[in-house]
Amino acid sequence: MVVPCSPGTCFLRCKGVRVKQLRHFFWVGSVVLAVLVAAPMAATAQSQGASKHASAKKSTTEAKRKAVAKRSARVVRPARPSDAMRAGLHGTRDPLSLRSSVAYVVDQETQEVLFSKNEEAVLPIASLTKLMTALLISEAELPLDESITITRDDVDTEKGSTSRLRVGATLTRGELLHLALMSSENRAAHALGRTYPGGLDVFVEMMNAKAQLLGMQDTRFVEPTGLSSKNKSSARDLAVLVDVASEDELLRDYSTSRAHQVADGRRKLMFSNTNRLVLNPSWEIGLQKTGYISEAGQCLVMQAKVAGRNVIMVFLDSAGKLSRLGDAERVRRWVESIPARQQIVPVTDNRTEPQATRVL
């Protein structure tokens, strides 16, 4: 049954509907207005945030660019010329086109000189010094199991080089000797000299006395590591040192060891050989030592068996980190190609003196 609507009632009902509709429209309008007002503000904030991000990114990129430029400047900076380079020895030609300024190859049994190039030049010898250090320690027959602690006195103040042996680390004398020969560890070598009976000064005196005793007239030492460019010798003298040191079984074993691990408290430190030729099965190396400082260039001495004969090789001031190894390979192939005994004569270089040699 439909209830009739009076004019008053209908008006009220219709008015209520209109009020509700107006409220709805007002609410919707408010929302739309809020959105319209907020959108530009959000866009502005987003734009400002993007601008700040872009600015920060640009700043970071600029900082990275400057850092790269700074590193590049360090890389391209010309290296300090070695003593041999300043003396013009790099210009000396030789039949094997060696990259070492100085080369000297001797038959250890007969003392026959197989190859020579600037062998009388007296130059810095870098860590080849450690061969004399090791020889004195071994001949002194000091207890190899005696513990020695690395101190601040062993820290390099000459070149500022780093070391994995921290101040306070305690190793045995035998371990220090092993690391000095195999890995050319400077703090190890210095600690060996420092703890020698009488101290470091006495040890250096003994180094020079031993050199004189062996007839190494061109040789002088001022410290046991080779970091000082004042440690100097000639290839001819170094061949004498290698000859004597190769007779010491301990020095042979330590210098040709591939790797060695030592304990520093709870830490285990693995050291490897600085001469990768000891890893090459085609080489039969009895004794070796590498060396490098800027004044000396890349250096290498070895005693090895080549073509059935024991040969001593000395390379000083090689241009490039791997060039000394390349020179050793060239010399080995050359020795393998010649008869057991050959006469050699000087080869006069048109540009520099002294001379290289060639085989007839």
Residues identified as active-site: 127, 130, 184
- Planar angle of CA 146, 149, 150, nearest 5 degrees: 135
Beta strands at 170-172 and 147-149: parallel, antiparallel or unpaired:
antiparallel
Integer Cα distance of 134 and 247 in angstroms: 13
Determine the Cα–Cα distance for residues 220 and 205; give it in Å rounded to an integer: 10
First-to-final CA distance of the chain: 138
Beta partners for residue 128, in sequence order: none
For strands 232-233 and 285-293, give the pairing. Answer: unpaired
Burial of 10 (0-12, 13-18, 19+ CB in 10 A): exposed
Residue 322 has a CB neighbour count (10 Å cut-off) of 11
The encoded tokens of residue 308 equal 């059935």
- φ, ψ at 189 (rounded to 5°): -65, -40
Identify whether the C-beta of residue 283 lies closer than 8 Å to the C-beta of residue 300: no
DSSP string, 80-108: PPPHHHHTTGGG---TT--SEEEEEEEET
